[in-house]
Amino acid sequence: MTFLGTGTSQGIPVIGCKCPVCNSSDSKDKRLRSSVLIEYQGKNILIDTGPDLRQQSLKNNICRIDLILYTHAHRDHVSGIDEIRSFNFIQKSEIKGFGNSELVNQIKKDYSYIFQKHNYPGLPRINLEVAEKKFNYLDIDIYPIEVYHYRLRILGYRIGELTYITDAKTISNEELKKINGSKILVINCLQINEHLSHLNLNEALDIIEKVKVKKVFFTHISHNLGLHKEINKRLPKNVQLAYDNLVIEL
Ligand SMILES: [Zn+2]
Ligand SMILES: [Zn+2]
Ligand SMILES: [Zn+2]
């Protein structure tokens, strides 16, 4: 798994911001919008198509996408959707995508030009379907995990021994059970102060207490969380901040 981006909606540095995090010379304090690429048996699974997808694909030499898993339809997670064209051109086929019904309806509305019957040539081709129950890809079971982003119902995913959750604010105990036994949990952690729609540091740590996982990486990080180096030092042993271009072997 490669972290293509680990930042919140504005990314870090934030345009025009003069804070120490935005001005840090540490490359780990530079964060594109959140997304990961999972490579398995020669196939590439992409979670979300954020606004930095072009840059992320070039940086990490991504040459094909076999499956897209969408968490929700906020712009920082979908607005790179047009970059999928490049992969359609190479692969000469459409690409399968999954999300919950809210996401599928929203994307089909917001990007209606992609999903019309008679497409203008050269548009992205994505076969977007609703997945709310367990499904199979290659030989791995993928479980959608339902979490709440304030009042919006969005999805995290358990993919074999990896769980990826972003933009959560609350997760029911029933859904938390699906995380148990994961080797790696990636979960959002926005900042120190409380936020209406995202877990802050204390809330993210509380969630980790409730699940049995080996290792945790925080993502979807805001400049308000603090410097990578300083926050990392304060975290429990099995928890660390993710950073852009970090590669994890599973
Ligand atoms: Zn987001
Ligand atoms: Zn800043
Ligand atoms: Zn969001």
Q: Would you say residue 250 lies in a domain? A: no
With beta carbons less than 8 A apart as the criterion, state whether 4 and 37 touch: yes
Strands (E), the chain: 2-5, 35-40, 43-47, 67-69, 95-99, 126-130, 135-137, 140-149, 152-159, 162-165, 184-188, 215-219, 239-241
With beta carbons less than 8 A apart as the criterion, state whether 98 and 128 touch: yes
Q: Would you say residue 230 lies in a domain? A: yes
Q: Would you say residue 100 lies in a domain? A: yes
Distance CA(91)–CA(222), nearest Å, equals 35
Q: What is the pLDDT of residue 162?
A: 98
SS3 98: strand
For the chain, the domain total comes to 1
Distance CA(223)–CA(237), nearest Å, equals 23
Look at strands 184-188 and 215-219 and give their pairing.
Answer: parallel
Q: Would you say residue 246 lies in a domain? A: no
Domain that holds residue 217: 2-241
Q: What is the pLDDT of residue 36?
A: 98
Q: Would you say residue 96 lies in a domain? A: yes
Residue 22 CA to ligand 2 center (angstroms) comes to 4
Q: Would you say residue 85 lies in a domain? A: yes
Q: Which two three-digit tokens encode residue 127? A: 């076969």
Residue 56 CA to ligand 2 center (angstroms) comes to 22
CATH of the domain at 42: 3.60.15.10
Task: List Cβ neighbours of 226 (8 Å cut-off, separation of 6 or more).
Answer: 21, 192
Task: Tell if the pTM clears 0.95, that is, is over it.
Answer: yes
Residue 124 CA to ligand 3 center (angstroms) comes to 23
Residue 224 CA to ligand 2 center (angstroms) comes to 7
Distance CA(32)–CA(247), nearest Å, equals 15
Q: What is the pLDDT of residue 79?
A: 98
Residues of the chain below pLDDT 70: none
Residue 118 CA to ligand 1 center (angstroms) comes to 32
Q: What is the pLDDT of residue 217?
A: 98
Q: Would you say residue 227 lies in a domain? A: yes
Q: Would you say residue 249 lies in a domain? A: no
* Among the bound ligands, the one closest to the CA of 73: 3
Which residue intervals of 46-199 are DSSP H helices?
53-59, 75-78, 84-91, 101-110, 173-176
Residue 76 CA to ligand 1 center (angstroms) comes to 5
SS3 102: helix
Q: What is the pLDDT of residue 117?
A: 83
Q: What is the pLDDT of residue 58?
A: 98
Q: What is the pLDDT of residue 120?
A: 79
Distance CA(227)–CA(70), nearest Å, equals 29
